[in-house]
Amino acid sequence: MTAGDGIEPVERGYLGVLRVQRALAAVPLVVGAFVLWLVLFERHPLAVVVPVVAMLLAVVMVGVLPGRSWRRLGFALEPRLLRVVRGYLFHTDTIVPLARVQHLDVARGPLDRLFGTATLVVHTAGTHNSVVTLPGLSPERAGELAGVIRGHIQADPDAS
Q: How far does CA 131 lie from the centroid of its chain?
A: 14
Structural domain boundaries in the chain: 10-69, 74-150
Contacts 24+ apart (CB under 8 A), 96-99: 96/122, 96/124, 96/132, 97/124, 98/149, 98/152, 98/153, 99/152, 99/154
Residues 6+ apart with CB under 8 A from 36: 47, 50, 51
Taking the C-alpha atoms of residue 57 and residue 49, their distance in angstroms, rounded to an integer, is 12
Domain 74-150 has CATH 2.30.29.30: yes
pLDDT (0 to 100) of residue 91: 92
pLDDT tens for each residue of the chain, 160 residues long: 544 578 999 999 999 999 999 999 999 999 999 888 888 777 777 778 888 999 999 999 999 999 999 999 999 999 899 999 999 889 999 999 998 899 999 999 999 999 999 999 999 987 777 899 999 999 999 999 999 999 888 654 544 4
